[in-house]
Amino acid sequence: MYRATIDLSQDEARRVCDAIGEEEAFGYPPAAAIELTPEAWQAEITFAEEPDAEALAAFAGGLVGRAVAVLVEELPDIDWVAASLAGLSPVAAGRFFVHGSHDRHRVPAGKTAIEIEAAQAFGTGHHGTTAGCLVAIDDSLKARRYRRPLDLGTGSGVLAIAIARTLRVPVLATDIDPVATKAARENAVANRAGPLIEVVTAAGFDHPRLRNGGPFDLVIANILARPLVMLAGAIAGNLACGGRVILSGLLTTQEEMVEAAYRGRGLVVARRLRIGEWSTLVFDDPRRI
CATH classification at residue 31 = 3.30.70
Same domain? For 226 and 151 the reply is yes
Question: 279 and 185, same structural domain?
Answer: yes
Q: Average pLDDT of the chain? A: 87
Question: Quick one: pLDDT at residue 127?
Answer: 62
* 60: in domain: yes
Does residue 104 lie within any of the structural domains? Answer: no
The pLDDT value given to residue 87 = 44
Residues 38 and 181 in one domain: no
151 and 66 within one domain:
no
What does the pLDDT read at residue 77? 61
In terms of residue numbers, what domain contains 17?
2-77
Q: Is residue 6 part of a domain?
A: yes
Q: What is the pLDDT of residue 122?
A: 52
Radius of gyration of the chain (CA): 19
| Burial class of 162 by CB neighbour count within 10 A (0 to 12, 13 to 18, 19+) | buried
Q: How many folded domains does the chain comprise?
A: 2
pTM confidence score: 0.71
The pLDDT score that the predictor gives to residue 103 is: 78
> Cα torsion at 149, 153, 157, 160 (round to 10°)?
-10
In a domain? residue 49: yes
Cβ burial 175-202 (10 Å sphere, 16+ → b, else e): bebeebbbbbbbbbebbebbebbbbbeb
Domain annotation covers residue 102: no
HSE, side-chain direction, 13 A CA sphere, residue 54 = 0
Residue 187 in any domain: the answer is yes
CA distance 254 to 250: 6
155 and 51 in one domain? Answer: no
Low-confidence ranges of the chain (pLDDT < 50): 79-81, 83-88, 120-121, 124-126
